[in-house]
Amino acid sequence: MVQKGPRPLVLCGPSGSGKSTLLKRLLKEFPDKFGFSVSHTTRNPRPGEINGVHYHFTTKEEMIAAIARGEFIENATFSGNMYGTSKQAVNDVQCSGRICVLDIEIEGVKQVKKTDLNPLLVFVMPPSIEELERRLRARNTEEEEALKKRLDTARKEIIFGQEPGNFHIIILNDNLDKAYSELRDFISQNMEEKERALVETVIIFFSMVKLSEKLFFEDSDEMRR
């Protein structure tokens, strides 16, 4: 069971859209406010990736068993590899009092929307498929066939991302500074709304307390008469 906590932030977008870069920047600027939910995956680690930091690397058999036990809030298969977010990963962040940030695929978004987490949903859009291809080729981490599959998947993700109602905001990442500023503004606006709601709740609470005190003393005066 996922513990109650601050409303999670979900970042979604094609591989190469820059969502991971935006996420790293957010966590670096606000380490005490946001925490990254480390996903599980069955793919092999890339050079420089650390188990438990970038991903929880696991086997397909172990992940299938964990999903069957109900330990995941979302999971999806991408390019033949399984990915997913465990309930424990979200709980670890929420128990620290920070806002949990999830970096997930569109299938994961569909599943998370069915939970009671009520996340803020952000879709990071690349400038174009051509620019996306250039970024992916610059990584030099995949064979040509795998790259084509990623681009085919990206086209489907972009269609889903642009459909009304799927996300709260679409951020076009044609300039990193501009895109990050837009992300910060979006988060800030929603946080301010939450804070205003909290203030209103406190005001209503104290108003009810004062009303109760007033009625109590009026009743006491009547009894003494």
Which entry of 46, 137, 155, 196 is annotated as an active-site residue? Answer: 46
- Which residues share a beta bridge with 35? 100
Dihedral over alpha carbons 151, 156, 158, 163 (to 10 degrees): 180
Task: For residues 22 and 11, give the distance between their C-alpha atoms in angstroms, rounded to a whole number.
Answer: 9
Dihedral over alpha carbons 84, 85, 86, 92 (to 10 degrees): 150
25: annotated active-site residue: no
Indicate the SS3 state at residue 72: strand
99 φ/ψ angles, rounded to the nearest 5 degrees: -80, 125
150: annotated active-site residue: yes
Task: For residues 126 and 173, give the distance between their C-alpha atoms in angstroms, rounded to a whole number.
Answer: 5
Q: What is the 3-state secondary structure (H, E, C) of 165-201?
A: CCCCEEEECCCHHHHHHHHHHHHHHHHHHHHHHHHHH
* Pairing verdict, β 9-12 and 169-172: unpaired
Which entry of 137, 139, 155, 196 is annotated as an active-site residue? Answer: 139
Spatial strand order of the sheet with 56-57 comes to 56-57, 40-41, 81-86, 72-78
What are the catalytic residues? Answer: 46, 139, 150
